[in-house]
Amino acid sequence: MPHATRTWRLLRLAATLIAGLAATLAIAAGERFGRRPRTTPRVVRWWHGRVCRDLGLRVEVIGTPLPNALLVVNHVSWLDIPALGAQGEIDFLSKAEVRDWPVVGWMATVAGTLFIERGAHQTAGLAEAIGARVRAGRPVAIFPEGTTSDGTALLRFHPRLFASGQQAGVVIQPVALRYGTGPAPDPIAPFIGRDTLLAHLARVLGHGPLDVRIQFLAPIDPSQTDRRQLAAQARAAIARALGLTGEHPPRIPGEGAPCRETPASARRSLVPAQ
């Protein structure tokens, strides 16, 4: 991609980030006086759509997110968030460390992101909080792999967060996310290894259009199943949609534990693996 085009895309993204900061300030100001704007979910969705445009993401969507769904999504990149967030008024579950990241953590908190402490025994309380959001018509997306993969295979799905899907009025909807249109997944999108956010962002901006396919699959009936069975069913449904085998890939030598505490960690995670 020509340098001028990359620079123009970067400038547009910067303008979108400034607009997001302004919107977040307005929302936070309203909340300080006990008035959370009703337009907040629509503003967040609009902002995600702008980020997708600025990054050159071309999103193909199959199906629709159900309003009373716990969305169970395979995790490839930080790009997953704007790609999914642009498709509906969707909340996300994030590891607690993200809340402390400069600017990003504050924006995520104001936007309505739920957070989970690594290693804390909070499954019941978190499941209740997620269930309340979902029953109010706000789908919540979780990434049960607990970290990102390169898109060529699925990691193990950790079952503890599937407790949210066992509540009355909540359905589990698997979501298959794939970057690229060729036989193999796009190699630019994955945010893995020792990569840094700025380095990855530079590659995405210089890549040209990046195709993303999001498939909202049929919901899973949670009756008569435990969390491990639910996790296995969701993983199998996503694997079928992506044309992947059900085998767990081996851990890449030299990589650390899935969740590190800094944005420059070896693997990126929204939900800490337990």
pLDDT for the residue 208 = 82
Q: Around Cβ 250, how many Cβ atoms within 10 Å?
A: 7
What is the reported pTM?
Answer: 0.85
The tens digit of pLDDT for each residue in 76-132 reads 999 999 999 999 999 999 888 888 877 888 899 999 899 887 655 666 788 888 989
Residue 241 has phi, psi (to 5 degrees) of -65, -35
State the total domains in the chain: 1
270 part of a folded domain: no
DSSP output for 187-240 = SSS---TT--HHHHHHHHHHH--EEEEEEE-PPB--TT--HHHHHHHHHHHHHH
268 part of a folded domain: no
123 part of a folded domain: yes
258 part of a folded domain: no
The tens digit of pLDDT for each residue in 25-35 reads 999 998 888 78
125 part of a folded domain: yes
Task: Give ∠ CA 117-119-123 in degrees, rounded to 5.
Answer: 70
pLDDT for the residue 6 = 82
62 part of a folded domain: yes
Q: Around Cβ 36, how many Cβ atoms within 10 Å?
A: 13
254 part of a folded domain: no
The boundaries of the domain holding residue 236 are 3-242
Q: What percent of the chain has pLDDT over 90?
A: 55
Which residues does the chain have with pLDDT short of 70? 1-2, 118-123, 224, 245-274
pLDDT for the residue 154 = 94
pLDDT for the residue 247 = 55
Over the chain, what is the mean pLDDT? 84
d(CA 217, CA 36): 32
pLDDT for the residue 264 = 34
pLDDT for the residue 224 = 64
131 part of a folded domain: yes
